[in-house]
Structure 1
């Protein structure tokens, strides 16, 4: 079997703790190049993984014969660098949110199709065992019709784990585009679309900057979402949860409740109206608190879709739909109206 030659563009925390170590664990992959504007950062990663060093992604793409690229850059660079990599003949795994606008996302998808390359978005919450099990229970009809839900993703902010700390691009609107909603909220928008198997048709958002200083991006947001079938629920994204983070989801159905990542011991608890309670030990959701070393399964899914010529688990189209939920929430907050999709 051919070994995939891979490059990682952007050597910040997500590349250091997720992409590079997971590529290194994959027998189908050879890490041949890394790229970062900060040369020392790229050199550190290159030394660890025996890769070539670049500070300009265009030079990397022109000089190296690359099969696949991870784009681990500030949000405003996701679209242009992804498009350049696709046009250079590489499959692309892009971090979330995939783009800063619907138009950028559409151009990424179009370029992938034109060049017959895979485009996958790194929404890793779909691959969490408790989330996959919850989706299966819903599809099996275990809790019946879904009436409501709440999903939350909050921690104390990027300054605690971003490679640049308080001076990180996460806090700069011209680079990040959005704050907690882009860092965390889009993950939960994607997760709920996946678990419920439905699209959101109405979105309302209250989005604020009230916890962090010296930033013009959002750090607290609460959204109300309505699905095609009429289920309504809330999505919360925050950089103000301390000392503990929250990455939980609760789904309320006619036959029972699913509590996901909402208990310190059991990653999924199903409570049924007949009194039955089923507790699942499936291994807990990934967290920055554990030092960042875990297998998110994103890389193995990306590699698998290339090697076996399959549709990516989270395609560009899926990434765009999840982005559109967040864009609708922002529009709602700005216009003080409910946005219909």
Structure 2
């Protein structure tokens, strides 16, 4: 089977630190070109590799025979670069956020539809093992029908500092906003599309000065049917939490991104010693199970890496999505995350900015 030839455009952070290791680990993929305006970054990324480098992506598209481009530049540049790549007929995988506005996403959808070129957006958290487990358990009906989803991210960060570049401060919330797509697309995966956005609130607890405009944000929305509540809260001034709650008619499921585990509560007895004991015992058993599962997974990953086996990357969300994107391009099937799915995330981010 021939090698799937990939070019990475943007060698700042996600390109060399997320996409390149995943491509290197893939048995059928190869990074054949790097492109970045910063020649120093290009030299660092290409060090020790026999690889073509470019400072002009147009030149790269003309010179290289590519199966895909991974677009890892700041989101302010995504519309123009992605449009050119799509029009050149090269499939493209775009880092989140896909664009700066819903209008820009709509333009990308138009270009994709006109050309038929495959386009996908990186929503890597959806492909983490614990999120995949949660999706399966919810879809199997374990907690009944979903009635609401809640996403909580809290951390203690200085939002005036960033290792990514000043482009971050053009996003709503700056460094907090850069990671906010994760907190939006994950809960949206568990409901039937985004409907009305009912309310948005922001706080500036630490009295940041512009360009940092807030250090906390909350969004309340409904799904397309108007039957399920979507709650998203992001804080940069509190203790570390990173948890998804899926509330169902028969119980509640939690995805803890810090502990990397899934916890389910289905006991509906209220305020009794028996119910408390049952729930505590269940929580303890699930915690032990998740710890063991994480430990075994880590050990297997180390062992597979020593054997240079691609199974070492099965817990890497970027790797799994890249693998599925390659398969979709090769088999002419649906890409793992569509522009339409990413549009819903951008709509929520726009509401935060307004």
> Quick check: 1:232 aligned with 2:229?
yes
TM-score, normalised via structure 1 length: 0.82
Which residue in 2 is equivalent to 1:52?
52
Which of these two proteins has the greater Rg computed from alpha carbons? Answer: 2
User: 1:8, 1:15 within 8 Å by CA — same for their partners in 2?
Assistant: yes
Q: For 1:298, which of 299, 313, 321 is the aligned residue? A: 321
**Shift in alpha-carbon separation, 1:197–1:260, aligned structure 2, 3 A:** same
Change beyond 3 A, Cα 1:311–1:178? farther
> Within 2, Cα distance between the matches of 1:233 and 1:124?
20
| Other structure's SS at 2:242 match | coil
TM-score when normalising by structure 2 = 0.79
Structure 1: stretches of 5+ with no match in the other structure: 286-292, 332-341
Q: Is residue 297 of structure 2 the alignment partner of residue 268 of structure 1?
A: no
Partner of 2:183: 188
Query: 1:183, 1:303 → 2: CA distance?
Result: 26
How far is the alpha carbon of 1:12 from its aligned partner?
A: 1.4
CA RMSD of aligned residues (A): 2.9
Structure with greater proportional helix content: 2
Q: Residue 23 of structure 1 corresponds to which residue in structure 2?
A: 23
Please give the alpha-carbon distance, in whole angstroms, between the structure 1 residues aligned to 2:213 and 2:66. Answer: 35
Greater displacement, 16-25 / 56-65: 56-65
Aligned-pair CA distance for 1:98: 0.6
1:73/1:203 Cα in 2 relative to 1: closer, same or farther (>3 Å)? farther
Q: Secondary structure at the match of 1:143?
A: coil
How many aligned positions are there?
A: 317
For residues 90-147 of structure 1, give each alpha carbon's deviation from its aligned partner in whole angstroms, at most 9, with x where no partner exists: 1111011111111210111221222221111001121122222222222222212333
What is the deviation of 1:259? 1.6
**Deviation (angstroms), 1:159:** 7.2
Quote the Cα distance in structure 2 between the aligned partners of 1:29 and 1:161: 35
Please give the alpha-carbon distance, in whole angstroms, between the structure 2 residues aligned to 1:72 and 1:159.
22
